[in-house]
Structure 1
Amino acid sequence: MIGSLDIAIICIYLLAVLAFGWMFYRKQTDASSFTRGNGRLPVWALSLSVFATFVSSISFLALPGNAFAKDWSSFVFSLSIPITAFLAVRFFVPLYRKINSDSAYAFLEERFGRWARIYASVCYLLTQLARMGAILYLLALPVNSLTGLGLEQIIVITGLLVLLYSTLGGIEAVVYTDAIQGILLISGAFLCLYFILSKIDGGFGGMWQEALQNHKLSLGSFAFDWKSSSFWLILFYGFFINLQNFGADQSYIQRYMSAKSVKDAQKTVWLGGLLYVPVSLLFFLIGTALWVYYFQNPLPEAIPADQVFPHFISTELPVGIKGLLIAAILSAGMSTLSTSVNSSATVLLTDIFKIETANSLRFLRTASAIMAACSIVAALLFLGVDSALDVWWALASIFSGGILGLFLLGLLVKKSAAKLAVSIGLVFVLWTSLSQMFPESPWAFTLHPNFVIIIGTTLIFAVGWLLRKKD
C-alpha cells in the first residue's frame, strides 16, 4: 500500500492539473480558441501532445502486460508509424491546412455529401468512447492495487477530474498538460525499468539472456494466418490504424490546425509520432523484465497480465517512488482522455449539430462534460475483461467502420459510388462482428478481429475504385 508521502505527491499532481486547466479558462473566448487555440501553439508542445495521445494507459499498462504474457509481437504495431507519418506529412497535413476547417470530416462532405460526414463522425465518436473506456479502466488498476479503493470509485473520480480540466481550458489546456504529462510518463517508465532490473539476477544482461532462451523477444510468427496474430497481421493492422490516426482522426487533425504553419504541423507529426517508437519499446522491455523477475521470484498466486505491473509497483517500489509512478500512470491516461474529450466535443459541434457561433463555446463545454461522463460508463463496462489491449484493438477495428477507405476514395478518386462502397464495407464489418459473437452459426466467418479494419478499408476503397465514374 502507499504511504502519506505517496498520497501527497499524487494529490499535488492532480491539483496542479486542475489549476493548469483553470489558467486557460479566461482565454477561451470563442469556439476557435477552444478547438484550435487560435492556431498559435508551438511545435514542441504539439509534438509532445501527439506523443502523449499515443501513449495512454493502454501503452503504460497493457503493453507491459502483453509482453509479460506473450512476447514482443505487439511491438510490430509501432514499426508502421514511420511509414504512416511520412504519408501524413506528404498528403494529409497539406490537405487539412488548405481546407482550414476545425473538423476532419468537412473534407468528406465536400467530396461525397452530408451523409459521408455524419457517417465518419458517428464512427469516430464510437471509437473514442471505446478508447476512453479502455484507458480509464487500465488507469484504475494500479490505483486500486496501491490504495485499496474500488475500481468503480477510481474510474468515477478520475473521469470527473478529466471532465473538469478539459472542459475549463479547451485545446490549449489539453496540449500543454499533455506535454508536461508526456515528460512525466517517460521519466516514470525509465525509473520503473531501472528498479525492476536492479532486482533481477544479472541486471539487464541477465534479463536479456533469460528472455532470449524463453522466446520472450519474438516478433511473432512470419507465417500468414487469418486467425492468429502473426507478424504480418500486426504490421498491416498497425499500418491501417496509424494511417487512420494521422489521416482521419479528429484528435490529430486538430493539432495540425493548432500549429502556426504547414511546416510546423508537419514537424508535429514527425516528432510526436516517431518519439512513440522507442518509448513503446521501453514498455515492452518493462514487461519482459517483469516476466524475468517473477520467473526468478514466482508470484504467490495467479495475477492477470494487465495487473502484474501495478502489483510490482504496489509491492516492490519504495515509498515516494510509488507516488511518482502513480502520477506517471495517471498522466498517461488523463492526457489521452482529455484529447478524446476535446476532439469529440468538436465533432459534435461542427459535424453533428452545427451550433451557431453565438452558442458554440457553451455547447463545446457542455459536450465535453457529456463525453467525459460517457467515458466513465464505458470504463465500467471493461470490468472483468482478460486483456483490455485485445478488447480495445477489436473494438477499434469494428467501430472505425472503414473511415480510412472513404478518405482514400476522396483523395484518389474524383467521382465514385461511395455510398455503395461504404454499404458493402459495413455489411462485411457487421458479418465478421456477428461471427465473433456466434462462432457456431452456419453463416459464421472466422477471422481474427484485427483483420476487420484491414479488409473493411480495402473493400471500401476497391469497390469505390472499380465503380468510379468518368468525367
Structure 2
Amino acid sequence: MGTVDYVVVFLYAIAMVWLALVASRRSKGTDAYFAAGHALPWWMAAISHHVSGYSAVVFVGFAGKAASAGLSMWMLFSVPCFIAMMIGAKLWAPRWSRLKVLTPVQYLEERYGVSVRIAVALSGIGVKFIDLGIKLYAIAIVVQVSTGWERTPIIIVGGVVTCLYVLIGGLWATVLTDLVQFAVQFFLSIIVVTAVLAAVGGWGSMWDQLPEANSQLFNPDAGLPIEFWFVYLIVVIFSYNGGTWGLAQRFIAVGDARDTQKAALLSGALFLVYPLVIFVPAWSAPLLMPEFFDPITAAPIAGFDPDQTYVLVAKQILQSMAPGLLGLLVCSMFAATMSMIDSDINSLAAVFTKDVWERGHKQPLTDAQLTTVGRLATLAFGTAVLGAALAVDGSAGIGKVFSQTVQLFAAILPPVAIPLMFGMLFKRATVRGALGALVGGFAAFAILKNIYPDSFAIYTGGEMIVASIIFFGDGFLSRRTPEKEAEVEALFERIEGRPS
C-alpha cells in the first residue's frame, strides 16, 4: 500500500472511533447494550444480519476455495443462506422478536428448565473462541498481503481494536459499523468485478477459459459433492436463523414481529446476489494470475497459499486505478470481520451476563451491576478470542481457513441449535431430550470425526441425526407434568402471537 492508502486507513479508523462514541450514548443499560433497546429498524437489522453473516473468512477461505472449485462455491455459500432466510422469515425471525428477551438462550429456562439454559449457554460459550480466532486470523492474512507487515502484530492490534470497539458501543456500535462498511465494500467490489470481467472478456468468456467443472453447480472433484451441500444447508439453516447467537440478536433487537420477517427476507436476497461480486475475482484468478494455478485443472500450484487469492486480485486491480482504493478495501474487510467477531462477543457476553451470572446469583442485581458484568465479560471474551487467533497463527497444523471454519461450524452448531431452535416449534420437547441432544450430538461428532476425518457429510450428518433422534424421540415418548404443560402452552401463545 502507498502513502494515500495509509491516510485512508487512518481516516477510516477515526470514523470508526466516532461511530463507537455515538453508539455508546445509546447503550446505557443492559437492554440497550445487548439488544439495542428492541428498537432496531428492520432495514438496519437486515443489513447488519447480512454483513454479520460473513467476514474476511469469505474473502480469504471461501474465495480461495472458489478459485479452484468454481461456481459450486456460490452454490455452497449463497444458495443455502438464501434458503435459510426464506425459511427463517416464516418460522424463526418473528418468534425471536415476540420473545422479548435479551439473549437467545434466556427463553430456554421457561421452555425446558434452568439446567438446559445453563448447559446450552456454557456449551455455546466454550466452543466459540477457536471459531472467532480463525476469523481474526483471516483478516490478518488480508492485511499482511496488502501491507507486507508481520501477521502476529496485526492479530494483536486487530484483536485489541475489535474488543475495545464493542466494549464501548455494544450492539449499536456493531450495527452502525455494518452499515458503513457495507456501503464502502459494495462500492469497491463493484469496481473490482467490473475491471475483472473486462480483463477476462466477460462472464461467458471467463467460464469458457476455465475447466468445465468450474462452471458446474456441484463440483465433486473439488470436494464439494451434492451430499456435502445438503448437510451444509441444514447447518446454515440452524446458524443464520439463531443458532449463531449474534445473528439471533439482530431479530431480538427488532421490536415488531412483521418487521423481523422483512429483515430476514432482505438479508436473504442480499446473500443470494452480493457474494457474486466476491467470487468473480476469485473465479478469474487462474486467468489473471496464471503463474499460481495449474493451467489444466485451475488448482493452486504447490507453494501458493490460495487464501491470498481474492486480496491479490483486488490489489492488482485497485492499485492500477487510483491511490487509496486498496486502503479503503482493507478497511472495509477489517470492519466486516470486526463486526462479525464483535457481534458474537456481544452475544456471548449477553448470554454469560443474563443466563449464567445473573441466573446463578442469589441476590437480585441492579441494571448498572449487570451492565458492568457485561462489559467485563466482553473484555474477557475479547481477550480469549485474541489468544485463540495467536494460537491459530502459531499452529503449523491448523490447515486452511475454509476447511477449519467448516469443521468448527459443524461441531458447534447442531447440538446447541436443535434444542434452541426447535424448542420454539416442537411443543412436546422435554428437558431430558434437550440435554440428551446436546450430549449425544457432541459425542457423535467426536466419534465420527475420528473414524471419518475427511467426510464432512458423515460426521456432521451423523451428529445431526443422533441429536435429532434423541430430541424428538424423547419428546414423543415422554410426558410432562400438567404444570409444565401449561407453562409451555403459555410460552407458545406468546411466540406464535396468539391471544392468551
Please say whether Structure 1 and Structure 2 have the same fold, judged by a TM-score greater than 0.5: yes
SS in 2 for 1:149: coil
Deviation, structure 1 residue 52: 0.6
Matched residue, 1:439: none
Matched residue, 1:456: 463
Opposite residue 100 of structure 2, the aligned amino acid is N
1: CA distance, partners of 2:214 / 2:104: 40
Listed as ranges, the matches of 1:305-384 within 5 Å are 305-315=306-316, 317-318=318-319, 319-354=323-358, 356=365, 357-383=367-393, 384=396
Matched residue, 1:106: 106
Preserved CA contact (<8 Å) 2:429 2:472:
no
1: CA distance, partners of 2:9 / 2:383: 22
Stretch deviating more after TM superposition (358-367 or 458-467): 458-467
1: CA distance, partners of 2:115 / 2:35: 25
2: CA distance, partners of 1:26 / 1:118: 31
Listed as ranges, the matches of 1:130-279 within 5 Å are 130-200=130-200, 202-211=201-210, 213-221=211-219, 229-279=224-274
Show CA shifts across 1:182-205 (max 9, x none): 2222222222223333443x3444
Matched residue, 1:438: none
Opposite residue 80 of structure 1, the aligned amino acid is P
Show CA shifts across 1:377-433 (max 9, x none): 121233254420110110121123512222355231424441334333232122123
Matched residue, 1:432: 448
Stretch deviating more after TM superposition (54-63 or 292-301): 292-301
SS in 2 for 1:317: helix
Preserved CA contact (<8 Å) 2:235 2:410:
no
1: CA distance, partners of 2:421 / 2:166: 32
Opposite residue 387 of structure 1, the aligned amino acid is K
Matched residue, 1:441: none
Matched residue, 1:466: 473
Q: 1:98 to 1:308 in 2, by over 3 A?
A: closer
Stretch deviating more after TM superposition (321-330 or 171-180): 321-330
Q: 1:338 to 1:446 in 2, by over 3 A?
A: closer
Matched residue, 1:65: 64
Opposite residue 404 of structure 2, the aligned amino acid is V
Structure 1 position 53 matched with structure 2 position 69: no
SS in 2 for 1:229: coil
Q: Provide the TM-score with structure 1 as the length reference.
A: 0.89
Structure 1 position 412 matched with structure 2 position 426: yes
Show CA shifts across 1:108-166 (max 9, x none): 22232222122222332245323321211111112112222110111111111111221
Opposite residue 254 of structure 1, the aligned amino acid is Q
Show CA shifts across 1:296-333 (max 9, x none): 88799842100122233445532322112212221221
2: CA distance, partners of 1:170 / 1:239: 30
Opposite residue 233 of structure 2, the aligned amino acid is G
1: CA distance, partners of 2:88 / 2:203: 37
1: CA distance, partners of 2:454 / 2:304: 29
Deviation, structure 1 residue 44: 1.9
Aligned length: 456
Preserved CA contact (<8 Å) 1:76 1:235:
no
Stretch deviating more after TM superposition (401-410 or 387-396): 401-410
Show CA shifts across 1:414-461 (max 9, x none): 24441334333232122123x1xxxxxxxx355613543433223222
Stretch deviating more after TM superposition (410-419 or 114-123): 410-419
Opposite residue 478 of structure 2, the aligned amino acid is K
2: CA distance, partners of 1:341 / 1:118: 18
SS in 2 for 1:106: coil
1: CA distance, partners of 2:461 / 2:289: 37
Q: 1:171 to 1:420 in 2, by over 3 A?
A: closer
2: CA distance, partners of 1:300 / 1:428: 36
Opposite residue 363 of structure 1, the aligned amino acid is V
1: CA distance, partners of 2:301 / 2:105: 52
Show CA shifts across 1:244-287 (max 9, x none): 33033321222112113111111111112321121123222221
List structure 1 segments (4+ residues) > 6 angstroms apart after TM superposition. Answer: 296-301
Q: Provide the TM-score with structure 2 as the length reference.
A: 0.84
Preserved CA contact (<8 Å) 1:432 1:446:
yes
Matched residue, 2:496: none
Preserved CA contact (<8 Å) 2:106 2:351:
no
Give the fraction of aligned pairs with identical amino acids, expressed as a percent.
19
Matched residue, 1:400: 413
Preserved CA contact (<8 Å) 1:178 1:335:
yes
CA RMSD of aligned residues (A): 2.6
Opposite residue 189 of structure 1, the aligned amino acid is S
Preserved CA contact (<8 Å) 1:415 1:470:
no
Q: List runs of 5+ in structure 1 lacking aligned partners.
A: 436-443
Q: 1:311 to 1:412 in 2, by over 3 A?
A: same
Opposite residue 372 of structure 1, the aligned amino acid is G
2: CA distance, partners of 1:112 / 1:297: 54
2: CA distance, partners of 1:117 / 1:187: 43
Opposite residue 331 of structure 2, the aligned amino acid is A
Opposite residue 216 of structure 1, the aligned amino acid is N
Stretch deviating more after TM superposition (336-345 or 452-461): 452-461
SS in 2 for 1:393: helix
Preserved CA contact (<8 Å) 1:39 1:259:
yes
Opposite residue 469 of structure 1, the aligned amino acid is S
Opposite residue 426 of structure 1, the aligned amino acid is F
Deviation, structure 1 residue 214: 4.1
Q: 1:453 to 1:300 in 2, by over 3 A?
A: closer
Stretch deviating more after TM superposition (41-50 or 319-328): 319-328
Preserved CA contact (<8 Å) 1:400 1:453:
no
Q: 1:12 to 1:132 in 2, by over 3 A?
A: same
Preserved CA contact (<8 Å) 1:60 1:332:
no
Preserved CA contact (<8 Å) 2:81 2:240:
no
2: CA distance, partners of 1:368 / 1:7: 29
Q: 1:210 to 1:259 in 2, by over 3 A?
A: same
